[in-house]
Amino acid sequence: MTLIHVLFDSNKLTGLIPQSIGHVTSLEVLRLDRNSLNGPVPSNINNLTRINELNLANNQLSGPIPDLIGMNLLNYVDLSNNTFDNIEAPAWFSTVESLIVLVIESGGLHGKIPQNMFRFPQIQQVLLKGNAFNGTLDLGKTGSDLQVVNFENNAITNYKSSPNYNATIVLIGNPVCTAQLENPIYCSPQQQMQKAYSTSLLHCTSTPCTLDQSVNPQSCNCAYPYEGLLVFRAPFFRDVSNSSRFQELERSLWTKLSLTPGSVHLSNILFNNDNYLEVHLKVFPSTEMYFNRSEIQKIGFYLSNQTYKPPAKFGPYYYIASPYSFPGSNGRGKSSMSTGVIAGIAVGCSILLIVLVIVGIYAFKQKKRAEEVAKQSKPFASWASMSKDSSGAPQLKGARWFSFDELKKSTNNFSEANEIGSGGYGKVYKGIISTGDVVAIKRAQQGSTQGGLEFKTEIELLSRVHHKNLVGLVGFCFEKGEQMLVYEYIPNGTLRENLMGRGGRQLDWLCRLKIALGSARGLAYLHELANPPIIHRDVKSANILLDETLHAKVSDFGLSKLVSDSRKGHISTQVKGTLGYLDPEYYMTQQLTEKSDVYSFGVIMLELITAKQPIEKGRYIVREVRTALSKKDEEHYGLTELIDPTIRAAMNPIGFKRFVELALQCLEESTVNRPTMNKIVKEIEIILQNEGLNTNSNSASSSTTDFGNTKGAHHPFNDQLQKETNSNAFQYSGSLFAPIVEPK
């Protein structure tokens, strides 16, 4: 982008003109007139060799008049009404032959008048009134375009005319006028100026038109033109009588605005007090008497947004449009009905409208009142109406319906301060419901919501799942286009976060065994005792939450799949889960079974041993463990370097070798060689029972029992639990929204 116009006239600018203006050599127009600028004009102003118009008039500039030698494209100069040094006419008066208009009024100039400037081929106006030029004004041989010479109020004592100049010359207020016995024309205040151009209508006979109509110069018929004022801020000429120049503007307008040739009328052309060129414009419709609305919008847009580009000599512009009255407005296209009839209809319609509004408001309030009553008595009454495929209200067991307003209030309008997690499904907020219980509210974002039937199926399923080692569903919201699930709040974050040591808590080996047992019991319940049985499909450490006493709770059933009693294998067209935990057989065959969850649980068991993520720095934990395994190592099974340092320091970890072997059984390539979750529960219980810990073994059905120490042995973990039961060191992680990776 190149800067070519600087139009800062009448902007109340103060201070100096910056020296850097001389470096903007791309400038074609520089207008700083009618401000309060002071100080000298930068000496490098003549670096602007491309400039066409220079206007510094009506400021408080001082010092020498700027030297404009070398500015050979300069058409218009106005340096009037400043406080420049009193000097004789500068040399550039005789050298800048591109000048069209020279204006320096009250500029402190004196001495002889240079004759050469009247010979310039393009010169049209020389306006030097209010100076102190003296001697004889000798025009010599003038240029053919010269129209006005004004030396009013100088000190000229004699005038020598030119044989080829008969246009306007003004010498009022000079001694040459007071010495004359007769008052010559150049001393007269009334001189005939050249008439400004106006589009000719001589070819049209005098057709009478109404007040708001005009004669179309193309058809000579009366029509309703679209009118406005074109204001050109820096034209490169001053001759308003030049017909060829304004006819070029007419052609440009009808061509670029897609109008009929000859349908443009220009009039009232003049330079206003701001030295802007004003042109009154009328454009006419092609055949009809009126423009339609789209045509007016198009023409108005082209002109008002300067999309239309006039011929280059006219420079930058703006457009002031006049209102356009379409047929039927302002008396156009008068109706045959009388004024009284129209007034009667208007009054009647107004009364009817008021009555309808009152009735509508009353009916709306009654409807809202009835809906509120119905909602309070039957919270699921509107379920079917909210979704075409919802097929009635859900059948819940132990979960309740929440209104949108209730959950909004409980989360302080879903504020960021209450946000405790986020994921692909949406966000999780911590809230306090009316009972005083703290809950985690899982709010679906736009694009993640299900159909009514799918959402109903999910909450019916979740409401039937009740187990100590599963995150419990408290309720749901299906209202105002929202889908939200309300879970019990689990304060101590995910197993993955705890293994990484976030919050400062370290899990010893016994604690990890208990977490493994609790997680296994939760999954075994889903596989064996849930009705219908459920395959989790996204078992991972980020989906195992730890409560106040670090008991494990399996979460996130968003990917769960119901298992048919008659069929244990399911073909899925889309493998779902998280990389690093995916059952390779499921990935290859797309056949989903409960053993897919078993494989994922085996990966978690290795995480409990190593505290490493399944895939870390390009290394897969399963492969690393299998490679390092050594049965010769009685203590650590060859895994010394891989074991989490937190538990490596412990002497002879409880059942370590048996735990590793169980994990590797879960990670068998073939599903038939993997144990069931129920079998895994029993194996971990045996590991703990061998150390004298009572696990109250009810396998998968255990939902209320806890561990007890039957030998009275002391374990550091028990002290840690007592100290940290009420700890808030871990915040809710939002792991209910674990991201889903779908391998290609």
Active site residues: 538
Three-state DSSP state, 356: helix
For 681, the 3-state DSSP assignment is helix
Instruction: Give dist(CA 673, CA 171) in Å, integer.
Output: 118
Residue 103: helix, strand or coil by DSSP?
Answer: strand
**What are the helix (H) ranges across 196-338?**
243-256, 293-304
484 conformational bin, left if phi > 0, alpha if psi -120 to 50, beta if neither: beta
Q: Which two tokens stand for residue 288?
A: 């009809």
> Position of tokens 């127009």?
29
Alpha-carbon gap, residue 599 to 713, rounded angstroms: 34
Measured CA distances, 383 to 411, 451, 485, 549 (Å): 24, 12, 16, 39
Q: What's the rounded Cα separation, in Å, for the pair 439 and 643?
A: 36
C-alpha–C-alpha distance, residues 604 and 496, integer Å: 9
Residues whose CB is less than 8 angstroms from the CB of residue 374 and which lie 6 or more positions away in sequence, other chains included: 381, 382
* AA letter at 308: Y
Where on the phi/psi map is residue 467: left (φ > 0), alpha (ψ -120 to 50), or beta? beta
Q: For residue 282, which of 305, 255, 250, 309 has the smallest C-alpha distance?
A: 250
**Position 67, amino acid:** D
Residue 55 token pair: 């206007």
Q: 683 is written with which tokens? A: 């194996």
Residue 655: other Cβ atoms inside 10 A: 20
Is there a binding annotation on residue 442?
A: yes
Instruction: Report the C-alpha gap between 556 and 495 in whole angstroms.
Output: 14
Contact 627, 621 (CB under 8 A): no
Coil vs helix vs strand at 599: helix
User: What tokens were used for 725?
Assistant: 């039961």
Could you tell me the end-to-end alpha-carbon distance of the chain, in angstroms, rounded to an integer?
47
Which amino acids are annotated as binding site for ATP, given as ranges? Answer: 442
Which amino acids are annotated as binding site, given as ranges? Answer: 442
